[in-house]
Homo-oligomer: A and B are copies of this chain.
């Protein structure tokens, strides 16, 4: 909680994160004189954000009334991936009251994709998950102008450039909405309810189909001048490496990512180096990053080597970023976080060896706690912050 924020935002956040609180405790916690607090609570009750919730346990004198967020509050949280849609409707405390996850191709364009998002949300309403939404938060897999609420030149999202995502959702659902990059919302989720809880300076590294990084500095997401900060997938790690989708050679995500690992594993499966992968290829006609993870846990040395090679590449890039930003924590998430402790051990080893000792003296490198839910969790936080800010 930043004390620079207005009182009503701090109050609503406290009720969101801690549930019902007595007026007396609210006054203590927000260091607010009683009359001003009472007036503010009344105002927020009038606006429909806050409700009475019975009497608190006695503190000796007159029993104080509990207040909580209005049980009717609802936020929609949407996480659009390269090949998936995740939608949740959550209450004021950010607890899911409806959740949908399905495969989808972001390349089918904004109209088809957002149409499906709207259908899922209307279905949630028909199922009784909400009467009306108070805000919608959306993450998309590409750079976003946070101010304008539009994707900006997103490489893997044909047809989405400058598409008015925010405007369309706001019109459809009659509430404010907010659009951000998918890695940023994962970082926001992890900071609110995951392993980075209340850590002010950390990097959230997503290793999935592509690779990206959410950056928390001084307790705020840092998005950069054009909204594309954190695009570490195209840092060159091998000048003689494979051609990347961006046209350069040896980018991190051309060398190690879900797509790169599946490609390399398929090549390996055709040789005699990995019986485990060869078996999977024969059985299903393809191998994926997940196959590599499973074969590695079964002790397949080639798969262990593939993961360690990748970890070394990621670690090399992160070592530079640690020297550059001197963060308090690194969180590894995204689909390839399933590669687990073999990957993590290799990343740690390179980061600890190659960064300035002062910067790594007390630097945890850990796996995401929220896993695949990090994105929707963060989108829900963003939506709630937007709604709270509007309660002016």
Contacts and interface: CB of A to CB of B under 8 A. Distances in A.
Nearest to A199: B225
A53 interface: no
A74 B290 CA distance: 65
A213 B326 CA distance: 12
Contacts of A353: 248
A232 B143 CA distance: 25
A359 B226 contact: yes
B228 A359 contact: yes
A236 B316 contact: yes
A201 B224 contact: yes
Contacts of A326: 223-231
A358 B228 contact: yes
A307 B332 CA distance: 38
A177 interface: no
Copies per complex? 2
A232 B323 CA distance: 6
A15 interface: no
Contacts of A229: 324-326
A292 interface: no
A187 interface: no
A162 to B, nearest CB: 12
B225 A217 contact: no
A356 interface: yes
A218 B216 CA distance: 13
B231 A222 contact: no
Interface residues of A, number: 45
Interface string A206-245: 0000000101011010111111111110111000000000
Contact of A328 (B225, B319, B328, B354): B225
A375 interface: no
Interface string A234-275: 111000000000101000000000000000000000000000
Most chain B beta-carbon neighbours within 10 Å: one of A4, A246, A320: A320
Most chain B beta-carbon neighbours within 10 Å: one of A222, A232, A246: A222
Contact of A234 (B236, B246, B356, B361): B356
Interface in A345-392: 353-359, 361
A218 B220 CA distance: 11
A323 B225 contact: no
Contacts of A213: 324
A189 interface: no
Most chain B beta-carbon neighbours within 10 Å: one of A201, A227, A324: A324
Given A152-B358, A223-B326, 11 more contacts: A143-B356, A153-B358, A222-B325, A226-B361, A228-B359, A231-B326, A232-B324, A234-B323, A234-B355, A235-B324, A236-B354
20 contacts: A153-B357, A217-B222, A218-B220, A224-B325, A224-B326, A224-B359, A225-B328, A226-B358, A228-B323, A228-B326, A228-B358, A228-B359, A229-B326, A230-B324, A231-B323, A234-B356, A236-B319, A246-B356, A320-B320, A324-B324
Interface of A: 4, 143, 152-153, 201, 213, 215, 217-218, 220, 222-232, 234-236, 246, 248, 316-317, 319-321, 323-328, 353-359, 361
